[in-house]
Amino acid sequence: MKDYLLLFRGGEMQGLTEEDRNKHLAKWGEWIGGLSKEGKFVSGEPLGGESRVITGKKMTITDGPYAESKELVGGYLIIKAADLNGATEISRGCPIYEVNGTTEIRDIHHMDF
């Protein structure tokens, strides 16, 4: 089994009522709980809105990133899967698609130091 990073972008949560938002978040809990029981969940968290970007040799610091809301990374999971196809299948169960979000799936290359 290899580790894969799922990056969650976008999602139209702002239009949901509080009740619908809570139902949606409960689906996330169920999905992640199921992955955990299967031994496929490694870690993950939602991300807050405050951030900084450091760029280049001069290490210029700016607030941001300021991308369109559909492009903002809202959270991540690290999962275990046999291969990229397996990680893709796991990601299909994610509730983010119900609110028009997207998932980027990346393999993680562990470095030995």
User: Which residues, 6+ apart, have CB-to-CB distance to 4 below 8 Å?
Assistant: 78, 79, 80, 81, 84, 87, 105, 106, 107, 108
6-37 exposure pattern, b = at least 16 Cβ within 10 A, e = fewer:
bebbbbebeeeeeeeeeebeeebeebbeebee
| Residue 12: predicted pLDDT | 82
Would you list the domain boundaries of the chain?
A: 2-107
At residue 54 the predicted structure's pLDDT band, cuts being 50, 70 and 90, is: confident
- Above pLDDT 70, what percent of the chain? 93
CA proximity to 75, closest of 4, 9, 26, 3: 9
Burial of 56 (0-12, 13-18, 19+ CB in 10 A): exposed
Question: Contact at 8 Å (CB) between 23 and 98?
Answer: no
Q: How far apart are alpha carbons 79 and 7 in whole angstroms? A: 11
The pTM assigned to this predicted structure is: 0.86
pLDDT over 70 (residue 65):
no
What's the CATH superfamily of 2-107?
Dimeric alpha+beta barrel (3.30.70.1060)
